[in-house]
Each structure stands twice: as structure tokens, then as C-alpha cells.
Amino acid sequence: MNNQQAKIYSYMKTHGSITPMECFEHLKITKLATRIGEMKREGVRIGSEMEKSGDAWYKRYWLEPEEANNVHD
């Protein structure tokens, strides 16, 4: 797991989920979907759903319950 992936993983583990705006605001990482895709290909189990705020749609990501108990970092 690279440095950005580890930061995202840790954030999801601590805060329960992450959105692209939270990722940029708290971690200064702009390509959340790319990092999530990489993590999934490495076997990290991550769930997601689309959410809406006003006219804007975005995706929220979280560690699946069985993943949240694993240690990758």
C-alpha cells in the first residue's frame, strides 16, 4: 500500500467513511477514486454509494465490516 492509500485507509478506519471533498480537505489527496480502485485491486474490501448535496453528486467510500478488522497499515 503506498503512502496515499495508507492515509485514506487510516482515515476510513478512524472516521468510518470518506468523500472526495473530505479527502482533499483533510489529506490533500485529489484522486480518491483512483486510489480506491488501486486499493480494491490489491484486495482491500471497500463499499461505496452515491450521495447528493444540493445539485452535486459524489461518492462516499467505507471499509466493509470484515475489512475494518484487518490490519493493512
pLDDT of 72 above 70: no
Give the residue extent of every domain in the chain: 3-66
Contact status, residue 46 vs residue 64, Cβ threshold 8 Å: yes
What pLDDT is recorded for position 71? Answer: 59
Q: What is the pTM of this model?
A: 0.88
Helices then strands (H, E): number in the chain? Answer: 4, 2
Which CATH architecture is the domain 3-66 placed in?
Answer: Orthogonal Bundle (1.10)
What tens digit of pLDDT does each residue of 13-55 get? 999 999 999 999 999 999 999 999 999 999 999 999 999 999 9
What pLDDT is recorded for position 56? Answer: 94
User: Which comes out higher in pLDDT, residue 61 or 71?
Assistant: 61
